[in-house]
Amino acid sequence: MDTIVSGPTEHHHTPTPDLVPVLELKNKIKTRAAETEELPSTILHSVMRSFPLDAANQLPQSETLLRTIRRQRPAPSMTANNQLPDHLKQTDPFVPVLDVIKAFDLVADDFDDEADDFLGYFKKTWIGEPKKRGTGRKKLLFLIELWNVYDRTVANLPRSNNSIEGWHNAFAKRVAIAHPSISKLTEKIRREQSKFEVDIAQIPQGQEPKPKKLKYRKLDERIKRLVDDYPNLDLGEYLKGLAVNMSL
């Protein structure tokens, strides 16, 4: 690891005294970033505790320090099973709406500079870009409340329309042809309606709806336990826990 602060030689000049604390700070950040897997926010919080207050006006912007961390860490690669590593599968939809931006900033810290365009797109579309003047964020394309599933998970409600898509695919297979006649399509719809009426009549009799596959039920149970425990968990650890359960 290269050291920024060094003694003067014929090719080096003694650092400006006012900049020495900043250079030492950057060296500490580089060392922690290269030797640990700590979250960038954890690294910055730790090293800043020893930074002298009288040098605060020389302190680089936080984005500059985060970039220093990213440059010390190798670019993420696929695992042996050709899967994304867990830290790139961290996800925001299971975080309460009010904490989504905070969670996004944590996730974004794990990407290098090559992902800036992607992160910029994500901000414009799903999060909202910070305004250049004042506080607040610009209008985003899709409201966070539209795609966030934290409350639905807590309430044991479906998180997607997968069941509807599943029915649609099954019905298309039963129809069997791409462009059925009106009479044939009507007959298939009538049969489908009869099937639904039987299913609805059986529910009050104690019959359970067709269950999900076991692996999906277990996945839902793990996610539900994590989401229910959200108030007691560190946000970074919570995102890591979710990532383990995400398959991409």
User: What's the mean pLDDT when you consider all of the chain?
Assistant: 83
Residue 144 placed within a domain: no
Q: Is the pLDDT of residue 217 over 60?
A: yes
What is the structure's pLDDT at 248? 45
Residue 46 placed within a domain: yes
Residue 7 placed within a domain: no
* Residue range(s) defining the domain that contains residue 32: 17-72
Residue 24 placed within a domain: yes
Asked whether the beta carbons of 100 and 127 are under 8 A apart, the reply is yes
Residue 149 placed within a domain: no
Residue 32 placed within a domain: yes
Residue 26 placed within a domain: yes
Per the structure, the count of domains in the chain is: 1
Tell me the percentage of the chain whose pLDDT exceeds 90: 25
One-letter amino acid for residue 121 of the chain:
Y
Asked whether the beta carbons of 149 and 156 are under 8 A apart, the reply is no
Q: Is the pLDDT of residue 4 over 70?
A: no
